[in-house]
Amino acid sequence: MEPLAIADKLKKKFPDDVLDIVEARKQVGVILRRDHIVEICGWLHDDPDLLFDHLLGLCGVDYRPKGRGFEVVYNLYSIHNRHMIRLRADIPEDECWLDSVIPVWRGADWHERECYDLLGIEFRGHPDLRRILLPEDWQGHPLRKDYPLSPTKKTEWQGYEELKELSKALRVHGFQQESSNSKTAQHLVKEAGNGGT
Amino acid sequence: MAALEQRSMEIPIPAQEKELFALKMGPQHPATHGVLRLDLFLDGETIAICKPDVGYLHRGFEKIAENKSYAQFLPITDRLDYIGAMANNVGYCHAVETLLNIEVPERANYIRTIVAEMSRISGHLLWLATHALDIGAMTVFLYCFREREILLDLFEELCGARLTTSYTRLGGVRQDVSALFMDNLTKFTDDFPTKIADYETLIDTNRIWLKRTQNIGVISGKQAVQLGFTGPTLRGSGVDYDVRKHRPYCVYDRLDFQVPLGRKGDIYDRYLCRMEEFRQSVAIIKQCLEQLPPGPIVNDDAPDLIMPITPQRKVAADSIGSSGIIQLMEDRNIYMEGDVYVSTEAPKGELGFYFVSDGEGRPYRMHIRSPSFIHIGGIPAICEGEMVADVIACIGSLDVVLGECDR
């Protein structure tokens, strides 16, 4: 089916949930209210004309600088029917949650964990929602637009400071002190360089 | 220091798992193909629960992309799947070109197809080498690296780099192919099929190999689709899905090649699929070499420039708005607002890029759909119920790269 026809069919089935249909470069995105996302996904997955069996990807976008909230984007593909559609669930800024679509696509598990980790969107009904790429004690969600590109001392990961101190403590017993008795490493390098020329 | 020790002690174990034997495999383990950690809970020698843990190689590529121009991000794609960097370059450029609506000259498209297939062969060679080594077949490793060396030398001849190639450009490729490259590649395509037969005589009917791979790590086609698998990992289960056939890019719609499928979805079928892909890739390269048309290799209207010979000053992330690419894009009116998802068939599976553009010279948001991330997410479905000795064979058969998984 043509992507626009799929979007129209979706709008006929769920008229209250579809907010907008946008097209760019022959790809169609359907902007949805978030309330019935699992129902909509389940219908797309099971409808015999559509059969969207493959979840290509799931990611979040922070639209707050543009004056909107967040968005979770589902790229769906039907291996059987060879067509594609994109769902974009609109999420208000102050209530950052969405229902999990794991009952529809098992593979959404890690995508949702990643989205939670990097953007702080909570997926309700997820069996094991915890950080995946970043350490468990990380503060903040890096892909939010207000997260700084390079951290200050305050916003830096606490574990990094601990590692630095650990390496300082190890250096006391290390190579530098032992070699200072005779010649420093720099001297050795210099001599070797002179000998060569 | 004290806090570090305390944290490592606090790995939560759910109540019902306490009677099981907990085994932490990795992240520093030679057979995990990178920094992958598996938390295994064993019931005797059978795996009851398997929990992969990733993120040790997370470098924040998606955040970096939001602060670089489209052209500046290209070298970073080399570091995704660092075994098949060419395929990543092709995938990224194809995605950006779709977003910005840039035409690619015919010759460049053919060259891209050639290098993408070369990178598929070299990626599969490394997979076969390490997978066989993990299971215990040492000889194949040496044979595979011999042929991989030829391919890496060809890449060096083409663009000067062996692994981190950064060869494609937005709107074309960096350099034209030389006569030496063409000769050597033709020779390679003639020789390579006999080499594939060599590998197959070593392991195809080897009794140990069969015992370690047949009926192990079985995943049905339906399950594999549910989990979002792509590439040879999905096709091993008998599902006919190949981006090159379903949504053709470059010149794949003009070439004659088959997509090999497995039947049972065990490790052996995935192995057979990849072995057949060697032959198909060689056939694709041969056709491309025959059909390669003359002409330009980069579009005149491309926003990307040939890399300047004199080094330029560093452009700070905030002042990127004044950099050359924006000016070019404004002059030629090629930027757009909106979002696209474009994917290509990388050696590991479907490599997709989702761009959100707000009309600036850099992506507003870029998401990388990396096949390895999804395949590692599916490890529990494959491993649970298998013996602990087969975990390595299962991971090997998925062909994962952690650089791509963690991004």
pLDDT of residue B116: 92
Q: Using 50, 70 and 90 to split pLDDT, how confident is the model at B353?
A: very high
Tokens 């799929």 label which residue? A6
Per-residue pLDDT at B72 exceeds 70: yes
Per-residue pLDDT at B334 exceeds 60: no
The pLDDT mean for chain A works out to: 81
CA distance A53 to A61: 23
Q: Which fold has domain B61-303+319-366+393-402?
A: Cytochrome-c3 Hydrogenase; chain B (1.10.645)
Query: Which residues does chain B have within 8 Å of residue A162's beta carbon, measured at their own beta carbons?
Result: 1, 3-4
pLDDT of residue B90: 92
Closest Cβ–Cβ partner in B1, B227, B339 for A107: B227
Per domain, the residue ranges of chain B are 61-303+319-366+393-402
Per domain, the residue ranges of chain A are 3-144, 157-197
CA distance A83 to A79: 8
pLDDT of residue B308: 38
- Of A4, A1, A75, the closest CA to residue A41 belongs to A75
pLDDT of residue A37: 87
Contact flag A106-B373 (C-beta cutoff 8 Å): no
Query: Which residues does chain B have within 8 Å of residue A55's beta carbon, measured at their own beta carbons?
Result: 228
Residues forming beta bridges with residue A98, ordered by sequence position: A123
Residue scoring higher pLDDT (B44 or B184): B184
Closest Cβ–Cβ partner in A82, A137, A147 for B246: A82
Q: Which fold has domain A3-144?
A: Beta Polymerase; domain 2 (3.30.460)
- Tell how far CA B4 is from the center of its chain: 35
Per-residue pLDDT at B320 exceeds 80: no
Kindly state the average pLDDT of the residues A176-196. Answer: 50
Per-residue pLDDT at B338 exceeds 70: yes
- How many other C-beta atoms are found inside a 10 Å radius of the C-beta of residue B8? 8
Least confidently predicted of A28-32, B127-131, B169-173: B169-173
pLDDT of residue B162: 87
Structure tokens at A119: 């953007």
Kindly state the average pLDDT of the residues B37-48. Answer: 86
Decide if A79 touches B, using CB distance below 8 A.
Answer: yes
Query: Which residues does chain B have within 8 Å of residue A73's beta carbon, measured at their own beta carbons?
Result: 339, 354, 367
Per residue in B363-374, pLDDT (tens digit) is: 888 999 999 999
Query: Which residues does chain A have within 8 Å of residue B67's beta carbon, measured at their own beta carbons?
Result: 149
Per residue in B152-171, pLDDT (tens digit) is: 999 998 888 888 888 888 88
pLDDT of residue A191: 53
Q: Using 50, 70 and 90 to split pLDDT, how confident is the model at B322?
A: very low
Closest Cβ–Cβ partner in A57, A137, A169 for B1: A169
Kindly state the average pLDDT of the residues A83-94. Answer: 88
Decide if A160 touches B, using CB distance below 8 A.
Answer: no
Decide if A188 touches B, using CB distance below 8 A.
Answer: no
H or E element in which residue B268 lies: helix B267-291
**DSSP labels for A10-54?**
HHHHSTTTEEEEEEETTEEEEEEESTTHHHHHHHHHH-TTT---E
Per-residue pLDDT at A132 exceeds 50: yes
Contact flag B358-A66 (C-beta cutoff 8 Å): yes
Per-residue pLDDT at A135 exceeds 90: no
Least confidently predicted of A8-12, B57-61, B88-92: A8-12
CA distance B150 to B268: 27
Contact flag A56-B60 (C-beta cutoff 8 Å): no
pLDDT of residue A128: 85
Residue scoring higher pLDDT (B378 or B337): B378
What ipTM describes this predicted complex? 0.80
Residue scoring higher pLDDT (B143 or B326): B143
Per residue in B106-125, pLDDT (tens digit) is: 888 999 999 999 999 999 99
Per-residue pLDDT at A69 exceeds 50: yes
CB pairs under 8 A between A and B: 110
Per-residue pLDDT at A139 exceeds 90: no
Per residue in A140-167, pLDDT (tens digit) is: 888 888 888 877 777 777 788 888 888 8
pLDDT of residue B283: 92
